[in-house]
Structure 1
Amino acid sequence: MRSYLDLVVPVKRLERAKSRLVGAADGGIGDRRAHADLVVALALDTITAAAGADGVRDVVVVTSDPMLTAVLRAEGIRTVPEAEPGLNEAYRHGASALGAHVGALQADLPALRSAELAAAIAAADGKRAFVPDRQGTGTTLLISAPGEPLDPRFGVGSAQAHRASGAVELTGDWPSLRCDVDTESDLSVAAGLGLGPRTAQRFRLSA
Structure 2
Amino acid sequence: METDLVVPVKALPDAKSRLRGAVAPDEHANLVLAVLLDTVTAAGEADGVRRVLVVSSDPTVASVLAAEGFECVPEGPARGLNEALRHGAALLRQSDGPDRKDKGQIGALQADLPALRPDDLAAAIKTADGRRAFCADRQTTGTTLLLSAAGHPLNPMFGVGSALAHAASGALPLTGQWPSLRCDVDTAQDLAVARELGLGLRSTALLCAMAGGPIEC
Normalising by the residue count of structure 2, what TM-score does the alignment of the two structures yield?
0.90
1:86 is aligned to 2:90: no
Conserved in 2, the CA contact under 8 Å of 1:25 and 1:202? Answer: no
1:20 is aligned to 2:18: yes
Q: Which digits, 9 at most, give the CA deviation of each residue in 1:115-139, with x for residues without a partner?
A: 0000000000110000000000000
Amino acid at match of 1:132: A
Paired residues for 1:38-187 under 5 Å: 38-83=31-76, 84-99=78-93, 100-187=104-191
Alpha-carbon separation, structure 1, partners of 2:146 and 2:133: 6
Conserved in 2, the CA contact under 8 Å of 1:24 and 1:203? Answer: no
Which secondary structure does the structure 2 equivalent of 1:180 belong to?
Answer: coil
Cα drift, residue 201 of structure 1? 2.0
Cα drift, residue 203 of structure 1? 2.6
Normalising by the residue count of structure 1, what TM-score does the alignment of the two structures yield?
0.95
Give the alignment partner of residue 5 of structure 1, picking from 3, 6, 28: 3
What is the aligned length?
Answer: 200
Cα drift, residue 23 of structure 1? 2.5
Alpha-carbon separation, structure 2, partners of 1:152 and 1:172: 21
Alpha-carbon separation, structure 2, partners of 1:198 and 1:56: 21
Q: Which digits, 9 at most, give the CA deviation of each residue in 1:100-120, with x for residues without a partner?
A: 420000000000000000000
Unaligned runs of at least 5 residues, structure 2: 94-103
Amino acid at match of 1:47: V
Give the alignment partner of residue 207 of structure 2, picking from 191, 203, 206: 203
Alpha-carbon separation, structure 1, partners of 2:9 and 2:47: 23
Cα drift, residue 85 of structure 1? 1.1
Which secondary structure does the structure 2 equivalent of 1:58 belong to?
Answer: strand
Instruction: Give runs of ≥4 in structure 1 deviating > 3 Å.
Output: none
Unaligned runs of at least 5 residues, structure 1: none
Cα drift, residue 55 of structure 1? 0.1
Cα drift, residue 25 of structure 1? 2.2
Alpha-carbon separation, structure 2, partners of 1:126 and 1:6: 12
